[in-house]
């Protein structure tokens, strides 16, 4: 390993090992904006006031998430309004949850450090059956990913339990390493439709994400 890059490699390794115990959800802001057709709501939803309100709240929430300095108070207020309008009551077992998601905003400090320090740009989560895969790609090559198992305590509810089983740290030309996965808990999907998702979790964090386009 050359002397110039050795400190940077050690920084990556130490950062990852600090994140593993609290790596609950993994997402980030996509570079391509997503719109919810706010300008043509009447033509889409006709006279359905609930659908119009839901679309307006989604657009407002997404816009706030993409501010340079989002207001948590404003976001929480919008979530409280949006939650009762979720079209999916059995979110945990719904097929709508089964896809790849991109994070728009989260309160998880261990995830935000990768974005704030310029280590990663887009972080994703894929749910496939009862398998959860989180991926943090590094902007300069390599990635960190974890895989876990899901269980649903109530098929008609919103809670999903998870337990991580494997984790891989890919440092590009320096090789790929298996690291101990540590983490289990639950997340409640309080709002879910075909392209928008809001979760709260066992660590009292919030995450808001959109479906991969």
DSSP class of residue 5 equals: T
- List pLDDT tens digits, range 166-200: 999 999 989 999 998 778 999 999 999 999 999 99
Provide the H-helix boundaries in the chain: 6-19, 41-45, 49-65, 72-82, 109-116
pLDDT at 128 over 90: yes
What integer pLDDT is reported at residue 167 of this predicted model?
94
pLDDT at 2 over 80: no
Rounded to whole angstroms, the Cα distance separating 207 from 43 reads 30
**Average confidence score pLDDT of the chain:** 83
What integer pLDDT is reported at residue 142 of this predicted model?
94
Total Cβ atoms within 10 A of residue 52: 16
Residue with the bigger pLDDT between 37 and 60: it is: 60
Q: Exposed (0-12), middle (13-18) or buried (19+): which is 106, by Cβ within 10 Å?
A: buried
Q: pTM of whole model > 0.85?
A: no
Rounded to whole angstroms, the Cα distance separating 112 from 105 reads 9
- List pLDDT tens digits, range 68-83: 999 999 999 999 999 9
Mapped onto helix, strand or coil, the DSSP state of residue 25 is coil
In Å, how far are 5, 98, 118, 184 from 145, measured between CA atoms? 22, 18, 17, 15
- List pLDDT tens digits, range 85-97: 999 999 999 999 9
Beta strands in 50-195 (DSSP E): 100-106, 124-128, 131-137, 143-151, 159-170, 176-179, 184-192
Per the listing, tokens 């659908």 go with: 51
């Amino acid at each position: 390993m050359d002397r110039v890059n050795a400190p940077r490699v050690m920084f990556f390794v130490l950062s990852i090992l600090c994140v593993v115990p609290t790596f609950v959800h993994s997402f980030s802001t996509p570079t391509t904006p997503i719109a919810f057709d706010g300008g043509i709501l009447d033509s889409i939803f006709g006279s359905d006031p609930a659908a119009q309100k839901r679309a307006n709240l989604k657009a407002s929430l997404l816009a706030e998430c993409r501010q340079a300095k989002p207001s948590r108070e404003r976001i929480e207020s919008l979530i409280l309004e949006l939650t009762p309008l979720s079209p999916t009551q059995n979110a945990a077992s719904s097929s709508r949850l089964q896809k790849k998601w991109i994070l728009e905003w989260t309160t998880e400090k261990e995830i935000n450090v990768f974005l704030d320090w310029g280590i990663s740009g887009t972080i994703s989560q894929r749910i496939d059956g009862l398998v959860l895969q989180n991926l943090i790609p590094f902007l300069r090559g390599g990635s960190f990913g974890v895989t876990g198992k899901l269980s649903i305590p109530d098929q008609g509810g919103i809670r999903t339990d998870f337990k991580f089983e494997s984790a891989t740290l890919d440092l590009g030309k320096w090789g790929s390493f298996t690291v101990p996965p540590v983490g289990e808990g639950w997340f409640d999907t309080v709002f879910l439709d075909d392209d928008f998702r809001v979760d709260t979790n066992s660590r009292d964090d919030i995450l808001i994400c959109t479906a991969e386009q």
